[in-house]
């Protein structure tokens, strides 16, 4: 194996402990009911027709000039989160979890590494967040893919990749080249949250149990009684409250749990916020127990697990070394770590679909 590949896997080991693993944890959720799911597809090779610039309608000499209104700028109708989440100049990695069963992009996390303030932050963004797209995006989508424009769930954040693909958004001209879906995600998160995305990592969730077992499990204080079975998904969750070491199968149940039975036998559903809190609890435990420099020595062991489950924009030697150095600095310097769940205080039914409504500036 070449040195560059080994170095890349070493980077993956470090990132996967904080980044890739974060994706796996959040993406495992129990579907409440079968819903319309927008299936992701790979970017086709296409010829892009540039968006036309505003035009002015020519009138007869005696008629008044009529100016065709300019298209709105950006992607949304000025949708802005109520507060800043990251410091200017810090580095942000977009983490996407791709559901192996439905193919949906169901976890959205941003890893923020702030070298100046010596902090690392995981920003958990609800997948069902409502995105207020402007008329330009709607018109382009209706022309490019009318069926998708009619999908009542298309304004959920976890459908953003599908819009980017349909619009062939900034194909070849965007930050991530031909990866139109990631170009769209990047611009959308920058516009709404003022977070500049430097790179992305897409994680397939199929390796979850294998990853947890590779690290010897994770000790965690399970906060509530968790019992649920779904033979269709081969899912059997049986966890009692209290401190315990979870293996891969148990950890999967912990992060997927969102509904089940109480000790009294009553069925109960839990909010997405509750699930996100459990995810952050697990991430904190995993970070404290397994994110360390000694794991670099296990690169060859972990290589197969990571390579088959990860896609990333981090490819060049310089980028690999930059991230490796940054992560090593963070671990040696014991950067302060924290997690944030983006505030969506209200739910709203729009076209028969429940959306989480973002807390905005206005």
Residues paired with 108 in a beta bridge: 96, 125
Count of residues making up the chain: 362
**Maximum mean pLDDT: which of 2-6, 97-101, 266-270:** 266-270
Q: Does residue 25 register a pLDDT over 50?
A: no
Phi, psi for 278 (deg, rounded to 5): -65, -40
Phi, psi for 209 (deg, rounded to 5): -60, -40
What is residue 48's predicted lDDT score, i.e. its pLDDT? 39
Across 151-157, average pLDDT: 95
Q: Does residue 13 register a pLDDT over 50?
A: no
pTM of the model: 0.73
The more confidently predicted of residues 312 and 78 is 78
Domain residues of the chain, as ranges? 3-40+72-357
Q: Does residue 137 register a pLDDT over 80?
A: yes
Here the tokens at position 275 are 């699930």
Q: Considering only 51-60, 126-135, 248-257, which range has the smallest mean pLDDT?
A: 51-60
The more confidently predicted of residues 31 and 42 is 42
N-to-C CA span, the chain = 54
DSSP-H helix ranges across 230-316 = 248-256, 272-290, 299-307
- For the chain, give the mean pLDDT: 78
Across 214-241, average pLDDT: 87
Across 326-331, average pLDDT: 74
What is the sign of the dihedral through the CA atoms of 350, 146, 27 and 336?
A: negative
Q: Does residue 166 register a pLDDT over 90?
A: yes
What is residue 188's predicted lDDT score, i.e. its pLDDT? 97
What is residue 238's predicted lDDT score, i.e. its pLDDT? 92
What is residue 32's predicted lDDT score, i.e. its pLDDT? 31
Q: Does residue 134 register a pLDDT over 50?
A: yes
The more confidently predicted of residues 208 and 51 is 208
Neighbours of 32 (CB within 10 A): 11
Can you tell me the distance from the alpha carbon of 148 to that of 151, in angstroms, rounded to the nearest whole number?
Answer: 5
CATH number of 3-40+72-357: 3.40.630.190
Phi, psi for 128 (deg, rounded to 5): -95, 15
Check if the beta carbon of residue 344 is closer than 8 Å to that of residue 356. yes
Per-residue pLDDT tens digits for 196-226: 999 998 876 666 777 788 889 999 999 999 9
Residue 65 sits at the vertex; the CA angle it makes with 59 and 70, to the nearest 5 degrees, is 110
């Amino acid at each position: 194996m070449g040195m560059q590949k080994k170095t890349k896997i070493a980077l993956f080991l470090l990132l996967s402990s904080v980044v890739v693993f974060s994706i796996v944890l959040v993406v495992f959720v129990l579907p409440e009911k079968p819903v319309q799911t927008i299936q992701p597809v790979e970017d086709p090779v296409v010829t892009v027709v540039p968006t036309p610039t505003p035009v002015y309608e020519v009138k007869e000499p005696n008629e008044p000039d009529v100016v065709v209104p300019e298209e709105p700028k950006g992607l949304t109708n000025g949708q802005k989160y109520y507060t800043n989440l990251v410091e200017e100049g810090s580095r942000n990695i977009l983490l996407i979890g791709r559901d192996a069963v439905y193919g949906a992009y169901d976890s959205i996390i941003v890893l923020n590494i702030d070298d100046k303030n010596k902090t690392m932050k995981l920003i958990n963004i609800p997948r069902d967040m409502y995105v207020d797209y402007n008329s330009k995006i709607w018109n382009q989508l209706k022309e490019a893919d009318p069926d998708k424009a009619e999908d009542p769930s298309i304004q959920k954040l976890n459908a953003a990749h599908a819009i980017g693909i349909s619009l062939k958004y900034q194909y070849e001209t965007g930050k991530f080249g031909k990866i139109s879906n990631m170009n769209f995600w990047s611009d959308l998160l920058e516009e709404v949250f003022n977070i500049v995305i430097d790179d992305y990592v897409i994680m397939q969730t199929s390796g979850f149990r294998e990853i947890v077992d590779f690290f010897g499990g994770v000790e965690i204080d399970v906060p509530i009684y968790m019992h649920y079975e779904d033979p269709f998904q081969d899912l059997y969750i049986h966890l009692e409250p209290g401190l315990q070491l979870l293996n891969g199968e148990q950890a999967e149940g912990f992060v997927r749990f969102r509904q089940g039975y109480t000790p009294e036998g009553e069925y109960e559903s839990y909010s997405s916020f509750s699930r996100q809190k459990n995810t952050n609890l697990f991430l904190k435990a995993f970070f404290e127990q397994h994110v360390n420099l000694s794991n670099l020595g296990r690169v060859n062991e972990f290589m197969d697990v990571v390579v088959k489950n990860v896609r990333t924009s981090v490819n060049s030697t310089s980028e690999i070394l930059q991230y490796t150095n940054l992560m090593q600095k963070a671990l040696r310097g014991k950067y302060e770590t924290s997690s944030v769940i983006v505030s969506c205080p209200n739910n709203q039914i729009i076209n028969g679909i429940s959306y989480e409504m973002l807390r905005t500036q206005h």
